[in-house]
Amino acid sequence: MNAATMNATLTAITPQKAKLSGRLDRLTAKVLLQQGRRLIAESGSQWQVDLAEVNHSSSVGIALLLDWQRYSLDKKVTIEFLNVPQKMQDVIEFSGLKDIFKLN
């Protein structure tokens, strides 16, 4: 994979907060999935993810958030997604997933 295809990052700000940025698609999601699960497991009882710097998301980006949501439930961690881009919110709502996600 070249740099152009791997331009998404998940950065821990604190153990309870991270920042997701870049392009969420099938080329970036697999690595982000594992990074997010590790951060969730290390977070304690709550974890927030700021998506303000996400500049593109395919449906894989929604699947990524859904995986983290389910994983956090298994780990008994409260998860919150902050600054979710409007296009992602639209897909979440259209897909009937609005009640599953805690969006702010």
Give tens-digit pLDDT for 58-76.
Answer: 899 999 999 999 999 999 9
| Residue 30: strand, helix, or coil | helix
Ranking 2-6, 9-13, 46-50, 94-98 by mean pLDDT, the lowest is 2-6
Please, what are the domains in the chain? 9-94 (3.30.750.24)
Q: Which residue has the tokens 């929604």?
A: 62
Measured in degrees and rounded to the nearest 5, phi and psi for residue 55 equal: -105, -5
In terms of Cβ atoms closer than 10 Å to its own Cβ (0-12, 13-18, 19+), residue 52 is exposed
Confidence (pLDDT) at 103: 63
**Residue type for position 62:** I
- Of the pLDDT bands very low, low, confident and very high (cuts 50, 70, 90), residue 101 is confident
Per-residue pLDDT tens for 33-57?
999 999 999 999 999 999 999 999 9
What CA–CA distance (Å, rounded) separates 13 from 6? 20
